[in-house]
């Protein structure tokens, strides 16, 4: 009607065959498995996993073989510190075994990644305690599912002057902080938490109302 001719059946069949051909596997099952496993790593999607796998294959001798060896060694040696919950190849971990740290101050974090982030900042040379998550009744995560009992035991042993609750500023994080505060009350240690407010280099116009409110409540004298 508008001058568009119907496509011949042969052309349609060729198109379908071409599209189906594009979906065929172009690598062996070993490489496909490598891609699938890489895609499960946080921050890597299917496309990024394929690029990473291709780079590893191209650098098999220089990168893939050493990486495979390092991962095999990590599987055998990496474990959880029985004292603080950190991951390391020794127990107690490197942090707990460091005599130069101030073990009278314990920084409580949700995850090992938070511990590493604070260590990168280098603001304090203290000990740590990894909870392994936060309280979340909706998700079925209770106090017994976290590394809270070990923290209570560490403080009850004595010698801990301060416990810094470095949990995220989320509802779950604050709920966890309040629960830990109640459990630690009466054990003689000072309980503090990270300040909430204006970040370094932040502009007020771009901050949300909750951050501004917290910053005003946590204001300090000059």
| CA angle 162–166–167, rounded 5-degree value | 135
3-state SS, residue 154: helix
d(CA 162, CA 126): 10
In this prediction, residue 178 carries a pLDDT of: 95
112-161 pLDDT per residue, tens: 999 999 999 888 999 999 999 999 998 999 999 999 999 999 999 999 99
Alpha-carbon distances, residue 65 vs 49, 58, 59, 62 (angstroms): 18, 11, 9, 7
What domains can you pick out in the chain, each with its CATH number? 9-77 (1.10.8.420), 87-196 (3.40.1360.10)
pLDDT digits (tens, 9 = 90+) for 37-88: 999 999 999 999 999 999 999 999 999 999 999 999 999 999 999 999 999 9
- Specify the pTM: 0.77
Q: Which helix (H) or strand (E) holds 129?
A: strand 126-130
């Amino acid at each position: 009607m508008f001058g568009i001719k119907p496509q011949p059946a042969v052309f349609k069949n060729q198109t379908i065959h071409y599209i189906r051909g594009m979906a065929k596997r172009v690598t062996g099952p070993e490489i496909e498995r490598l891609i699938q496993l890489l895609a499960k790593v946080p921050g890597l999607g299917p496309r990024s996993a394929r690029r990473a796998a291709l780079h590893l294959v191209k650098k098999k001798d220089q990168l893939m073989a050493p990486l495979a060896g390092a991962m095999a060694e990590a599987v055998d040696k990496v474990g959880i510190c029985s004292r603080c919950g950190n991951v390391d190849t020794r127990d107690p971990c490197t942090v707990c075994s460091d005599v130069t740290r101030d073990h009278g101050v314990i920084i409580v974090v949700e995850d090992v990644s938070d511990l590493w982030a604070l260590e990168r900042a280098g603001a304090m040379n203290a000990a740590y305690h990894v909870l392994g998550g936060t309280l979340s009744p909706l998700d079925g995560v209770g106090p017994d599912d976290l590394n809270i009992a070990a923290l209570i035991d560490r403080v009850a042993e004595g010698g801990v002057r301060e416990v810094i609750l470095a949990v995220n500023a989320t509802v779950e994080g604050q709920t966890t902080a309040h629960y830990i505060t109640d459990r630690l009350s009466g054990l003689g240690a000072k309980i503090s938490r990270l300040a909430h407010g204006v970040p370094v280099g932040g502009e007020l116009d771009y901050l949300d109302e909750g951050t501004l409110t917290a910053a005003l409540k946590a204001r300090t004298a000059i």
